[in-house]
Structure 1
Amino acid sequence: PSCSATTALISLGFLLLLVCGLWLLVTIFWLQAPSNSACGVVPEAWRFDCYPERGVVVTRELCEARNCCFIPASSFSAPGRNGVPWCFYPPGFPSYSLVSVKATELGQTGTLVKTVKTYYPKDILTLHLELLYETDHRLRVRITDPSESRFEVPIAVPKATEKASSPAYSVELSNEPFGIIVKRTSTGAVLLNTTVAPLFYCDQFLQLSSSLSSQYIYGLGEHRSSFLHDIHWNTLTMWARDVPPTELTNLYGAHPFYLAMEEGGTGTAHGFFLLNSNAMDVALQPGPAITWRTIGGILDFYVFLGPDPASVIGQYLEVVGYPTMPVYWALGYHLCRWGYGSSNATWDVVKNMRNYGIPQDVQWNDIDYMDRSLDFTFDPATFSTLPDMVKDLHSHGQRYVMMLDPGISSIQPEGEYWPYDEGLRRGVFINHTDGSTLIGKVWPGLTAFPDFSDDVTHEWWYDNLKRFHDKVPFDGLWIDMNEPSSFVDGSTVGCPDTELENPPYTPGILGGLLRAKTLCASAVQKTSSHYNMHSLYGLLEAKASRMLGKRAFVISRSTFPSQGQYSGHWLGDNRSHWKDMYTSIAGMLTFNLLGVPLVGADVCGFSEQTEEELCVRWTQLGAFYPFTRNHNAIDQKPQDPPAFSPLARSAMKQSLLLRYSLFPLLYTLFHRAHTHGHTVARPLLFEFPKDVRTYGIDRQFLWGKSLMVTPVLDPGVDFVVGYFPQGLWYDYYTGDSIRSKGEELRLKAPLEHINLHLREGAVIPTQVNRQTIDRQVPLHLVSSLSEDGSAGGELFWDDGETSDTLETDQYAHIVFTVVKNTMTSEVLHDHVEASYITVETASFYGVKVEPTRVTVNSQDAAFTYRANQVRLGVRSQRLSVL
């Protein structure tokens, strides 16, 4: 028996030695650096970073420990940029294999398998692939863990019920390595090719790379940059953060969506949306290619086929939701500052605006209206007359907006601060993992943070709003600091040392920690951990804040996809610099792409002292933000229009009166955004997608498809250079025409003037301007005739405040057409609201021959004609548009 036992032990030892030897051989194979010949074939533009960690000096040893190529780059990177990676994936780096695939009613499913673990922990070696051919222009791809559920973003998206019958895309699947290749069927253009780099799917590190169809990439908010992103080794980080707009920094919102124009000047475009809310890096490189690195959730993405850029945005918004229709008074001029100091001082500014006849519809207050910075209070000493001021605003047809921070003071004596006491009783606050209330620090001192992912919190928030509204009948809300922001990292007692707080990979967020100036990532919310929910905070607060009155007005600092359904956005705490004014255009255009058209920057700048010339030019530009507000910081000199010289004040007044005259057009554009997902402020490339010269323009923009704005963005000049796409353009003020072949033109721009031009073929509804909104002012129709004498436009009209006018048919929709010297109006939808709309005058630009007679409804009408301006003016009795 002892001999048999010895033989068995020897045999077992031999088997163990064999297994260990095989394991060692595999390990040696994995750890062995790739050959120089394999690495050398990878062009620099197509190097995908194998060591993306920030703050690490990547050596050959570190790189080769990951079995990656290490070759120093031929050139150095720009400051703040990662540059060409020295450590990159070799050809054949281990990835997933597609081992099975089958057809389904909606598309295909498959199984992905990886046999070699990566250098990040907790690889998920088997994945489920689902391809959904949702519509002819929308493809959805989901890659999930079949064995365990993972966090998914809790926003409603449409669910397909049948497979697309004639998709504009084809999908090819690569088996080894696994990859997805999406092509446009009409041109064969490759829109997505994920075989270019290995797929990673670990518990806290998911990475997907793809080729891009061109260098023309837009979206990917929120960042301070040009409208057209630089793809030369540019990494954009997404994790909501309270920080003044700064280049190469994650800002207030997270929007993992891009629009891409395709090569060749064909005008075709597509879009890509990754439905993921975790902290992530989005790395652009000149291949052109893109890499998504997120540290949680799943890979759930959409491809939108357009084929034109406007269609792409409409298809994206079909998924995340069309923007809400703003209340009409939201289009007016908003005035605010931090540091009025009292309600009487605020009131004096309003009265001053009235005295000078400067338009203003809305007055705001910053946090200084509060009693000790406590939400839902007002200072009983310095703001004792606040209710009277709001009453006066309402009596003059004006409105009042107040700001709220999410942080609720936790240190008031029990029984003296209902918001905290009641919130604690209802359990609405975010907790630590041990169940205790997480306490941070904001303006009122120690604070708790409402969990807006819980419906109970929405009810508590509404109750607080109603209680305060009974004291101060505010008309709208400004929700600030809702990234959420805290003055301490994590909490006053720190955060636990867990994988959520210290993930194996941290994207390039400001501060280097997920908890930097916000809450612990491990904090507990109703839906999930703050690790997953952080960037959703502003969206969910906005959703909770829409519960007052009719059509709610909410402006939020932090945003996420679908935000436009619930709020607008201002571009944050900018500076009184010329560059900040310029970059605001890119921000405005980007948020229109992202489905948040009610957007604008702080006119004249928030921080630092403004200059008179800057403020005049910024007011002119701001008059064409979809949302326009002048706002500045405490301890800065006043920058409301009456604070400046008579010349500057007059120029600001004229630009605001001009805005007010265009309200019928602007409101109609918002209707189009609400019902069709159109942009309001629009990049030139949307209307001229085949003109490659428009692809990088962000110093000009359009309202809708016809009104082009060319602001002055530089100091000390009385001219501006603007690009005019091919066609006929008319000076908005004079009717003088410009026939462009697609060229830059130098335009006169004295201090009191902002250049506006009408594209041929438009009819835009305008009205005589007033100091506040006046919905019964008669219309003035402006037509810019095409070469053949045709033009067209439309008007949408309702009561301006009811939330469901479309659903209840309480609106009017009129189309205007000019053909063969005749203008007609067609009522597509009639309602009593339209009876208040009358047309008093009309102008026609491009009438080549002086008419001998003009009739209105078969009756002769007086007119004027100025040949040098090719302008025809018609004045008659007020006519109903019906």
Structure 2
Amino acid sequence: MRFLFLLCLKILEPEEASLLPPRPSCSITTGLLVTGCLLLVLCGAWLLGTMFWLHGPSNQHLIPEAWRFDCYPERGVVVTKELCEARNCCFIPASSPSSSATRPPGRNGIPWCFYPLDFPSYSLVSIEDTSMGQKAKLVREVKTYYPADIFTLELDIRHETDTRLHVRITDPSNARFEVPISVPTATKKAENPQYTVELSKDPFGVIVKRRSTGAVVLNTTVAPLFYADQFLQFSTSLPSQFIYGLGEHRSTFLHDVHWNTLTMWARDVPPMEKTNLYGVHPFYLAVENEGNAHGFFFLNSNAMDVVLQPAPAVTWRTIGGILDFYVFLGPDPGSVVEQYVDVIGHPAMPIYWALGYHLCRWGYKTSDATWEVVKSMRNYKIPQDVQWNDIDYMSQYMDFTFDSTNFATLPDLVKDLHTHNQRYVMILDPGISSTQPQGSYWPYDEGLKRGVFIKDAEGKTLIGKVWPGLTAYPDFSDNVTHEWWYDNLRRFHEKVPFDGLWIDMNEPSSFVDGSTNGCPSNSIENPPYTPGVLGGLLRGKTVCASAQQKQSLHYNMHSLYGLLEAKASASALKRILAKRPFVISRSTFPSQGMYSGHWLGDNRSQWKDLYTSIAGMLTFNLLGIPLVGADICGFSEDAQEELCVRWTQLGAFYPFTRNHNSIDTKPQDPTAFSPLAQTAMKQALLLRYSLFPVLYTLFHHAHVHGHTVARPLMFEFPKDVKTYGNDKQFLWGKGLLVTPVLEAGVDYVNGYFPEGLWYDYYTGDSVSSKGEELRLGAPLDKINLHLREGTVIPTQTPNLTLWVSSGQPLHLVSALSGDGSATGDLFWDDGETIDTYETNQYAYIIFNKTMTSQVLHNNVEASNITVESATFYGVKEKPSKVLVNSKDAHFTYRANQVLTVDDLELKLSQNFTISWM
């Protein structure tokens, strides 16, 4: 009766969708449900009869297709009625003619085999209150169809903060692998939680509701719970179809919930849809029907599938570890991200030059060729802060070496870069050559001596194959390896004084599956269930799952490899340089932002890749890694001039900005194109450099408060449904709207403007929007920028490096709201000292009202910066006079309501006021 009643609620009250049944039965049409609901209201007798029918022998036809939870998720299997019923599940071929019982890897559809209402699950048999919440005992009486069921579980519910709930389900009899990242330990139960928690006893389930609205943000009663040794699964309803995050996948920013399976297992593969990529981030942000938002983080590093279905609902299916998850109550999207990074760790404050323009390619071939590009950039007066080298610089592609023939002048190049206030970054792959004559290659010899390499199942050094040939892999889960890594970097830095590291191939990647000796045939290599990983094998293009690491089997540690290498690299750079470390990593995991940034991998020089880079950038900002960008102009294939211009314009607004392309492709640095294209690219980069104070301040807020840098419109306008799927525009912070051109052969772009007043950044012309799409002119040399009303941003005169630019006087741009007010801020320090905020070595100034500065914190660095001028957009009438600190000042006023005040020479370290009458 409860089941049918709640189904009626779903139809008559759509907002109650998430109150759906503990585990619905098997299939019924909407029309029949509507009829049932009407009869429910009119006739109680009919309801009693229906209840008898529901629990009778014919209950195989009661679940709507959208609410079918897959009972046979194995790939490549033709699901027959016999196979399905052997698992005591319902078998009904889907009504869609395009559906198939065979689901190749990376695809899914309406399940033909799904759980019935009475499929056995766990029962809650005892419960007790604790100082943090509740603990309970869960028991399963009936074995499942996967081996090694764990029949008794312990549930631990912790009310950690008013907006954070922590739930752990563990095996009380045996310790199981847990992800080795630091998370906060709450010691006091939340006093005024924004959530309520209900527990269903039989079958067991957790229901979490938002206290203020009653919205159900978690309901695990919708499908049975599995907890076997190598198969853990639970499902929950979703309050709406608006779900984001779940990296790393190439997709739209807003995920499709129509039978969409997202597999997580770090993998070296060029970005493509429906494929597990370089990083693993089991976190989603969901928007509720009321416009509130919440988040969900599943702290698990094993291979997993995350299945989205149109109910809407999500199923988490992993093959190891424990069930350890957090629910974050927001209530706005930005707050959800803040609460998430409070758990995984706040991103590091980048060194200032990390935010400049970076140039790289695989295929410079010599250090002199690299140097010529640097000189050409200087000659054309195009900004560049950092020059990189790919694996070309190495001797035989071996780490911690450089080719003494083709790259003999590399140390001189690096010295020259430093002389011009530029920096040098080199690539490192984790694979260490294992075939050099004994005594000739210190990294391998010393690594063997210290025992730093991953071992195979027999305890011998596991050998794979990467660029230098046969290789061993450092085990970064061992602190001994961190010290060995530091020693190698220190020794190489004495020869080539590099400034930052690019760590690649760190999924880890191998050109052979598992090892040169293969892998054992056991349940670790071939688990009872294998998620939809590319190729169908956990060892595909990586090391054996059964390989041994210090902390656990590679089966558990695989997707953590890039994180642990980044942690070792950042630590080493701090020791070597005594400055903020700069590390860019391909493979990532939650908490990576504390140690590195990320680039979006081996993309192509295609317009589609230009467009999808925005979703990737926005997603990684959600995931606590704001220092992110894609290879500008594309990595593989030859970049066409128009595409490269448009990509440079967009890339100027990536938080991390690097142009990088592959070997045997045409050069694509700005100097390689026509004068028209060079000018357009130069203008875009100078624009970025002029906005450095804005970007640097945004990274400060990311570091201290957990804010996003590149921000989806939905974050600032969570009540505007039209922003929910927008991944063709984005914001820097709360107020700078970027509308790039993403198509070939056009001189305009359509952009959505949420309700409010917006100003053209370049001219100050205003647009008053009711929440509408507008057509904007976009000639080849322009990227459209708009300032949101109520915003103040500080800018500087740009130069060829950020070292020079960041010393220039400030110009303030104020976009007034209807009542004439605006606010903004500026964070400033020396740009490279570690922990300046934590040690109070910084300045922080806010700008508010018409224009009043307030120095909230000051140090010596800020006292050297002056404010030279200020421009105000939206001054409705020409002033008769302008006062600066109560003294008359020279000003100009344009007909489009733009007021400019020049020759201010105001010290940033002192409060000031600009007003007019």
TM-score range, shorter chain: over 0.9
TM-superposed deviation, 1:806: 1.3
Shift of 1:860: 2.2
Mapped contact 1:718–1:751 kept (Cα < 8 A): yes
Q: 1:724 aligns with which of 753, 762, 770?
A: 753
Match status 1:171 vs 2:197: yes
Amino acid at match of 1:806: Y
- Taking the aligned partners of 2:671 and 2:149, their CA distance within structure 1 comes to 63
Distance 2:645 2:207 in 1: 51
Separation (CA, whole Å) in 2 of partners of 1:673 and 1:220: 20
Which deviates more, 545-554 or 621-630?
545-554
Check conservation: 1:278, 1:533, Cα contact below 8 A.
Answer: yes
Cα-to-partner distance string for 1:501-530 (whole Å, 9 max, x where unaligned):
010000000010000000000000000000
The CA deviation at 1:230 is 0.1
Shift of 1:799: 0.5
Which residue, 804, 810, 816 being the options, matches 1:785? 816
Q: 1:233 aligns with which of 252, 259, 268?
A: 259
Could you tell me which of 316, 330, 354 is aligned with 1:330?
A: 354
Is the aligned partner of 1:844 residue 2:875? no
SS in structure 2 at match of 1:511: helix
AA paired with 1:700? Q
Aligned partner of 1:193 among 209, 212, 219: 219
Aligned mates of 1:36, 1:662 — CA distance in 2:
69
C-alpha deviations, 1:274-313, integer Å up to 9, x for none? 0000000000000000000000000000000000000000
Q: Aligned partners of 1:836 and 1:285: how far apart in 2?
A: 57
Residue in structure 1 matched with residue 10 of structure 2 by the alignment? none
Q: Residue 646 of structure 1 is aligned with which of 669, 675, 678?
A: 675
Matched with 1:761 is: 790
1:858 counterpart (886, 908, 914): 886
Q: Where do 1:480-495 residues align within 5 Å? A: 480-495=504-519
Per-residue deviation at 1:877? 4.0
Deviations 1:217-275 (A, max 9, x none): 00000000000000000000000000000000000000000000001xx3200000000
Deviates more, 1:71-80 or 1:770-779: 71-80
Quick check: 757-766 or 770-779, which moved more? Answer: 770-779
8 Å CA contact retained: 1:204, 1:295:
yes
Residue 126 of structure 1 deviates from its aligned partner by 0.4
Matching residue of 1:12: none
Could you tell me how far apart the structure 2 residues matched to 1:55 and 1:369 are?
44
Distance 1:746 1:36, change over 3 A: farther
Structure 1 counterpart of 2:874, one-letter code: G
Shift of 1:659: 0.3
Shift of 1:435: 1.3
- CA distance in structure 1 between the aligned counterparts of 2:493 and 2:890, rounded to whole angstroms: 52
Tell me what 2:855 maps to.
827
Q: Is the 8 A contact 1:856 1:876 kept in 2?
A: no
Provide the rounded CA distance (Å) in 2 between the counterparts of 1:316 and 1:183.
18
Matches of 1:260 and 1:817 in 2, distance apart? 33
Find out whether 1:53 has 2:79 as its counterpart. no
1:590, 1:106 → 2: CA distance?
32
Partner of 1:617: 646
Aligned equivalents of 2:120 and 2:459: distance in 1? 42
1:442 aligns with 2:469: no
Q: Map 1:659-678 to 2 at 5 A.
A: 659-678=688-707
3-state SS of paired residue (1:228): coil
Give distance in 1, aligned partners of 2:81 and 2:99: 19
Q: Deviations over 1:27-79 (max 9, x none)?
A: xxxxxxx9883221100000000000011111111111111111011112499
Specify the code of the residue in structure 1 equivalent to 2:542: T
CA distance in 1, matches of 2:164, 2:66: 29
Q: List 4+ stretches of structure 1 deviating above 4 A.
A: 77-80
CA distance in 2, matches of 1:716, 1:404: 39
Match of 2:295 in 1: 271
Say whether residues 1:703 and 2:728 are aligned partners: no
Letter in 2 for 1:207: Q
How far does residue 318 in structure 1 lie from its aligned partner after superposition?
0.4
Write the mapping of 1:305-454 to structure 2, written as runs, cut at 5 A.
305-454=329-478
The TM-score normalised by the length of structure 1 is 0.95
Q: AA paired with 1:206?
A: L
Residue 73 of structure 1, aligned match among 82, 94, 115: 94
User: Structure 1, residues 675-724: CA drift from partner, whole Å, max 9, x if none?
Assistant: 00000000000000000110000000000000000000000110000000
Q: Which AA in structure 1 matches 2:809?
A: P
Conserved? CA contact 1:790–1:818, under 8 Å:
yes
Tell me which residue corresponds to 2:58: 37
Give the distance between the partners of 1:736 and 1:40, measured in 2 at CA: 61
C-alpha separation in 2, matches of 1:35 and 1:43:
18
Out of 585, 598, 604, the residue aligned to residue 627 of structure 2 is 598
**2-structure distance, mates of 1:807, 1:600:** 27
Q: Could you say what secondary structure the match of 1:260 adopts?
A: strand
The runs of 5 or more residues in structure 2 that have no matched partner are: 1-54, 910-917
1:63 corresponds in structure 2 to: 84
Secondary structure of 1:638 counterpart: coil
- Displacement after TM superposition at 1:808 (Å): 1.6
Of 237, 244, 259, 1:211 maps to: 237
Distance 1:39 1:407 in 2: 54
The one-letter amino acid paired with 2:91 is F
1:857 to partner: Cα distance: 2.3
Alpha-carbon contact 1:592-1:682 (below 8 Å) kept: yes
1:794 correspondence with 2:825:
yes
Partners in 2 of 1:818 and 1:377 — Cα distance?
57
Contact 1:322 1:673 survives alignment (8 Å): yes
Structure 1 match to 2:720: 691
Residue of structure 2 in register with 1:7 after alignment? none
Count residues in correspondence: 843
CA–CA separation in structure 1 for the residues paired with 2:864 and 2:414: 28
**Does the alignment pair 1:805 with 2:832?**
no
> What is the aligned partner in structure 2 of residue 14 from structure 1?
none
Residue aligning to 1:873: 900
> Does the 8 A contact of 1:236 with 1:248 survive in 2?
yes
Amino acid at match of 2:668: Q
Q: Distance in 2 between matches of 1:878 and 1:54?
A: 68
**Aligned AA for 2:124?**
L
Distance of 2:632 and 2:393 partners within structure 1: 21
Higher deviation after alignment, 81-90 or 246-255: 81-90
Q: CA deviation at 1:807?
A: 1.9
Equivalent residue, structure 1, for 2:17: none
d(CA) in 1 for partners of 2:568, 2:521 = 32
* Residue 742 of structure 1, CA deviation: 0.2
CA deviation digits over 1:1-27, x for unaligned, max 9? Answer: xxxxxxxxxxxxxxxxxxxxxxxxxxx
Counterpart residue number, 1:6? none
Partner of 2:770: 741
How far the C-alpha of 1:855 sits from its partner, in A, is 2.2
Question: How many angstroms apart in 2 are the aligned matches of 1:38 and 1:616?
Answer: 61
The residue matched to 1:617 in structure 2 has which SS? Answer: helix
Give SS of 1:492's match.
coil
| 1:237 and 1:509 in contact (8 A); partners too | yes
* Aligned twin of 1:247: 273
Task: Give the equivalent residue in structure 2 for 1:25.
Answer: none
Q: Which runs of 5+ in 1 are unaligned?
A: 1-33
Aligned to 2:684: 655
Q: Which residue of 2 aligns with 1:224?
A: 250
Aligned to 2:37: none
TM-score by length of 2: 0.91
The one-character-per-residue Cα deviations of 1:837-872 (angstroms, maximum 9, x if unpaired) are 1100110000011112112223322211111x2111
Structure 1 Cα separation of the partners of residues 508 and 527 of structure 2: 20
Distance 1:36 1:368 in 2: 70
